[in-house]
Structure 1
């Protein structure tokens, strides 16, 4: 069993437990459920194109940075031009939780991506209830039919959809309703990074679809290379979070890539 399989098994149990604690109606009655969402499509074209991530840890890297608060970091991300922020809500493997989004939602005015392993309709109502604007669908743990159904549900809740793929085989998960296709430079099964593989995949995407380069962007050269290859957005977290002051690192990065 690889790490993705382990995460999905754990996620199934977490969802089952959550359903016994918080009903669907309680989610619908929450403070943020009726709020007007922000559009990543709009902010990708009007700002830096970077979806800056808050991430405490990961299965491959262990603890990255557990000393800073989400609000402290994402406020700086927004201040220095992030198009959106991504916040991990998986606790077991990534050290995140719902409060990380709840605690920042009223303090920033850019889209928030709920970064998690979405495998059940219940999670989409959760995402809406905590103030997310975008959800992530990972092709590696979903069928094309599930992607289509989950995309329709997300749109019914006014949430945008970022579909993450890793291989040519997963290109079949793309449907006309998907808002963005993210190509993960890091293989989820062995965690190897290959930027050229991502570029090759991007060249096979349908025309006029927003493309997002995800993970494994470790320096300004990587960013510039992927931008030159036509990516519209860039999901980056570890590069900033491994710094003692992620917001400052982000501001320096923005300065250097926008000269």
Structure 2
């Protein structure tokens, strides 16, 4: 069960995500979800010196440090793309309001916007390691490919490099391991989804956010096993999983 826990969690999150998209408090729920996903990929060791050097280059070009930081985050630390973004119409001064458009953080979720699949939502939240991007692009890899590799490999530069080296078929196998749920036609999926405890849990915003945090930080599972709601649900899922994966056959004595 622990081996496939990531796929189980991904499945639960993806379904809960869809159910909560039109929740009355969806705006708040998905702001928290965005914070969880962004924070899990943005670590203290995210090479602040690299940030500083990139920001200084943009500041020397006449942009403010705040705008430089925002543009770098939006372009996933692609310096050239950040320069183009800062030079565009979106970043021109709003003389009437005396501010710039980017002073207000733009969240991904919009109550009046189109539905965004969970994989795309997670992709937009991801904050890549800027130094790792520099190393990988200097090795000749495409900037966007480097970002995808880092996202799949949890910002691990060495694993991302190995991922980029293998052929496309192997890449698909690796990415499916980390970013794919259970087969919706499988008996395990059907049994889990038919469980009333799971059904109620997937409509609960608190449980959705906990599952999201657990998916991004698997080592925290021991903390949530003691949670009265999440722990009991995971126990039920574990039992269902094992019953479907390793069915017990009763042999007739006749």
For this structure pair, what is the TM-score category when the shorter chain's length is used for normalisation?
A: under 0.3
* Greater Rg by CA: 2
More strand by share: 1
For CA contacts below 8 A with separation 6 or more, give which structure has more relative contact order.
2
